[in-house]
Structure 1
Amino acid sequence: MTTSHNHQGLFLVLEGADGSGKSAVATELVTLGRDAGLDIRRVLRGSPRGDEAHASLIRTVGRLFAESDEIGARWDLLSLAAATQCLALLQTEVEDSVLAGGVVIAESWWHKTQVRLAIEASICGYLDPSQELAFSTWQQGLMPSSTKLSQAQQMTVLIDTDLDTRVKWYEAGGCVEPVYDPQGVVTRDPIHFGNFTERIAIGLRRRAQEEGWPTIRNGIERQPVELARELIELILTRPIIE
């Protein structure tokens, strides 16, 4: 195994609780990556690339999530739909680009989605406490995986932010993202947003420790470009298995 500056393809996943600044960091990362000579781009679920059949599937799953409260979609269906969307994106937008030497960035890929859905199912009474572990285990078994990419061509990084910072950014952004309060009512209250996303953050920190993901701390005192520089360094100096 050697460590050197390289342009081998990579699928880079940025995980983190809602409001942790992943999108802002990803935007800066694309700019810095191109400046560094990388063929780099983001996965954008709202405007999928590729053939229309797959793109339509990806957009339909997005609409299902957007309308899930109105139509009463349950968390088992949402978990299956999320896994299907990730697999479609993996096969149409990620694998070939990475094999050709490109860097593809995805934010909130599977782990955050799975953790959030399990928390929502518990809050809203879809699960009783005795079912939570079994449901989470079932969800983890749905995780899409590539048959083409090696482990060396995939990296997950946790963007971790404290509760107070997420609340401040949420308020500054107009409190757009809805969450569930402890009674299962949809709300945009900043306090409930902070408490809800802290549960997600705790779950992802545990996952990062178990899986050995690199963790980058974000906060009010940091600019997205600073985090992007750290990620560029991770990309260019990561170990390559010959």
Structure 2
Amino acid sequence: MKTWLITGADKGLGHSLAQSALAQGDNVVVTVLAADGQSPLAQAFPDRCRSFHLNAADHARFPAVVAKAEAAFGGIDVLVNNAGYGLASTAEETPAEKYRPLFDVDFFGTTEMVRAVLPGMRKRRRGHVINFSSMVGFAAAPGFSFYSAAKFAVEGYSEALAKEVAPLGIKVTIVEPGGFRSDFAGPSLDTSFSQIEDYAELGAALRGYTAARHGKQPNDPALLGPALCRIAAEAEPPLRLPLGRDALDYIRADIAQVLAELERWEDIAGSTTREP
């Protein structure tokens, strides 16, 4: 039996994962945006599930929530940083009042929750940190400049973290979902488009894309939970885990492009090296 702490489990991917973990007999602590901290999961599984209100931008409350989770079940085995939202906008058109809150939730919400959970994992010399990125956190997409930037930050942070905590018996996995039939292309997607004519075509394409895509993405949220439960059971889980055939294809195409570019510019890339 494991104890999970899953952020952003009101609905969507976090809710699906919590359901799967509970179904296999694990203990689960979920954070939700509901002001009263109530979750149907905690009501359905009163002995094995606790729910607490938490806004992922309210970093000062993270240690208290972690302390409650540890008090309830004796320690956290798997932390899942799922809470977050998207932002569709070009780099030039995104004002600070849009991108700074995004980083507070998507990036700093992740790092501060890890900081709150790590002391307990270090003490027990075991644990698994699962941080949600995105396929556009591996290969950026036009119109998602700051969302890609926040998820790139999650990836760099998580990769370094994995190397720091590996000697302590703690694992780290970066999850890179493709398109899931969740609220990401709906209520969980913020947008910010101005009237700069040079970006009008891209803005129109993005509006049409997100509107048409919502509810028709290729991946089923009900299948994410079982997949991550399998990863959490592995003795040597992957550092990166794309989820969905679309994510696999997208990331493979980017890797191929990077390799081709390295080969094309290898002469100049190596020209600055001079052995002392």
Q: TM-score, normalised by structure 1?
A: 0.46
Max Rg structure: 2
Q: TM-score, normalised by structure 2?
A: 0.41
